[in-house]
A and B are shown apart, each in its own frame.
Chain A
Amino acid sequence: MKMSKFFAWLAIAVGVTYFFVPLLGTFEFSLRMRRGEYSLDAYGSVFSDIQFQQTFGFSILMALFTIAFGMLLVVPTAYWVRLRLPQMRPFVEFVTLMPLVIPAIVIVFGYLRLYNSSSYIPFTGSVLGTNILLVMSYITLSLPYMYRSVDTAMRTIDVRTLTEAAEILGAKWPTILFKCIFPNVMSGVLSGAFITFAIVIGEFTMAALLNRPAFGPYLQLVGANKAYEPSALAIIAFAITWLSMGLIQLVSRFGKLTQSRP
């Protein structure tokens, strides 16, 4: 018993060391910009860089569009599959898992082939079109996480009975979906939103190959040309991801607290 506890703690210690030592090293290095003393100069340099502000703002905007349109696609789909087409569940799950097994570079080359400026739907022929294509590709990338978080939240409520209860009270589909179902899967929607946000903020392949000024390509650019700023940016990116994860924990705990009890 004691031995197994020792090995459990040892495994945890190895894991924590493996994870935190590089992070601590990066953080420590990001503070060394001023010779001979620790400072936040690297962070100051990053935040004052106009390119940082522009690319970060652009990525935030793309993330918000991705979340909004992604949820408009995912919530009704998950709802419909759960309510009316349960036999379609394996197929939908398979489709939503595809982005995990198909590399982003393959997806983006597919997009470029399908939607280039000489195709029938020339998304890449304009800036707006390319941005729309970028949002669509981000939705594809975040589909596995969005669908799963919404579907898990739907599992915690009795979708069928709530729908029937609303229906017998005279409600039509939009009212049922937006007043009775959507608010009750909000914890899943928010979890999906935060994870999507974290993915979009750091995404490189899609943005670089579609030639959009996003935060991912900026990270790469800074990493190739500067010394201390990339470390500061890595810590900032980690902080954003952790904040998103923390918020996911918070909303899922809140969701559990408000479950109806028998």
Chain B
Amino acid sequence: MPFLALANIKKSFGQTQVVHDFNMSIEKGEFISFLGPSGCGKTTVLRMIAGFEPPSAGTIHIDGKDQTRLKPNQRNIGMVFQAYALFPNMTVFDNVAFGLKVAGQPKAEIEKRVKEMLKLIHLEHLADRYPYQMSGGQQQRVALARALAPKPQVLLLDEPLSALDAKIRVSLREEIRMIQRQLGITTVFVTHDQEEALSISDRIVVMNAGRADQIGSPSDIYNRPATRFVASFVGTLNIIEATVIDPANGSVMIGDQSVTLRESIADKSGGEKLSLALRPEAGSLAESAKGDTALTGKVVSANFLGSVVRTRINVGGNIISFDMFNSPDLVMPAPDEIVTLRFSAGDLLIIRD
């Protein structure tokens, strides 16, 4: 039985349905990310788990108990908000102690637990500070400690890194993952940043227009996107339009060039249009490059991005981007140069709409 189970969850605001039949089973200790663009319904699902929004239909069970109609203060859930939401009138110590005080725990135990939590986030020395005396990163770590102090069953993180600068985001997300592993707490993390989701999750739920388009491990989501939306939202995947030539042996036309797919297209018919995905890092221009498939095209642009050079080529009207690692002897392709991109046929994935 899953630890956190969302079954047939629906949510409407007036006439607008923002979550459609959402199902999800989360095991104890798992770190799940809800990934999607703004307005896809990820925060609404999170808020329904927290109890801030009642679902229009469906049930929410935590550890086998129905929580669907319980108020947020009856659920034993910890939550970290995008805007930190520390109480400005309280010190760091009092913020972290708040949940424990509300629960009526003895003073000595509160003090012990708060110190434990502040040690966990390496801020023991700032216990007497007020939120306005701290940086954004420090405030968010205090918010994490505050959420964890009452030992919640589930931890919800609502875009906790969005308001921070790039360097702190990376270090804090690693810290969050480390603490989550250390405590073994079931965690749901909402983000629109695919790198964040890929780097810290056990599983990712890619959401689109109130539905879960794909649920899978970061590797599955990145390497085997189930839909065109997932392919376009996660990473910088190339979507290539092709036409089926021979379904039996898997050959398709890309522009005026023929390619044989490794994936079966026996269910397709000749002349049918097909969308294929190709990762930018899958191709190479080197003649010595491994790969059983080649596409020739004209260079549109080549941009130096530091560690990689991103080149865009036009193959029969499809613009394909691919990345080459930077090295001192790398020769950047010139615009309008005719080049041959080599890759493995196995890297071409068929995309469903």
Contact = CB atoms under 8 A, between A and B. Distances in A.
Contacts of A259: 88, 132
Nearest to A163: B85
A162 B98 CA distance: 12
B89 A184 contact: yes
A260 B131 contact: yes
A89 to B, nearest CB: 20
**Chain A interface helix/strand/loop/mixed:** helix
A125 interface: no
Given A165-B87, A169-B99, A169-B146, A260 B139 contact: yes
A167 interface: yes
Interface stretch (B76-84, B225-233, B254-262): B76-84
B304 interface: no
Nearest to B146: A169
Interface string A209-225: 00000000000000000
Interface stretch (A14-22, A59-67, A101-109, A170-178): A170-178
Interface string B134-165: 00100100010011001000000000000100
Contacts of A168: 50-51, 72-73, 75, 77-79, 147
Given A158-B83, A260-B131, A262-B163, A167 B73 contact: yes
A162 B85 contact: yes
Interface string A230-262: 000000000000000000000000000111111
Contacts of A180: 87, 89
Nearest to B52: A164
Nearest to A164: B52
Given A258-B132, A260-B132, A169 B88 contact: no
A166 interface: yes
A162 B72 contact: no
A161 interface: yes
Interface residues of A, number: 25
Contacts of A186: 89
B103 interface: yes
Given A171-B102, A262-B136, A165 B85 contact: yes
A76 B98 CA distance: 22
Contacts of B136: 261-262
Contacts of B3: none
Given A170-B102, A170-B150, A175-B102, A260 B84 contact: yes
A161 B84 CA distance: 9
B86 interface: yes
A183 interface: yes
Contacts of B71: 167
A186 B102 CA distance: 22
B89 A165 contact: no
A179 B94 CA distance: 11
B130 interface: yes
Contacts of A11: none
A6 B118 CA distance: 59
Interface in A89-134: none
A13 interface: no
A162 B102 contact: no
Contacts of B131: 260
A88 interface: no
Given A158-B83, A168-B72, A175-B102, 15 more contacts: A161-B81, A165-B79, A165-B85, A165-B86, A165-B143, A165-B146, A168-B75, A168-B77, A170-B76, A171-B102, A184-B88, A258-B132, A260-B88, A260-B132, A261-B132
11 contacts: A157-B88, A162-B87, A165-B87, A168-B51, A169-B147, A170-B73, A171-B102, A172-B73, A258-B130, A259-B132, A261-B132
Closest 8 CB pairs of A and B: A169-B99, A183-B89, A165-B85, A161-B85, A170-B102, A167-B72, A260-B131, A168-B79
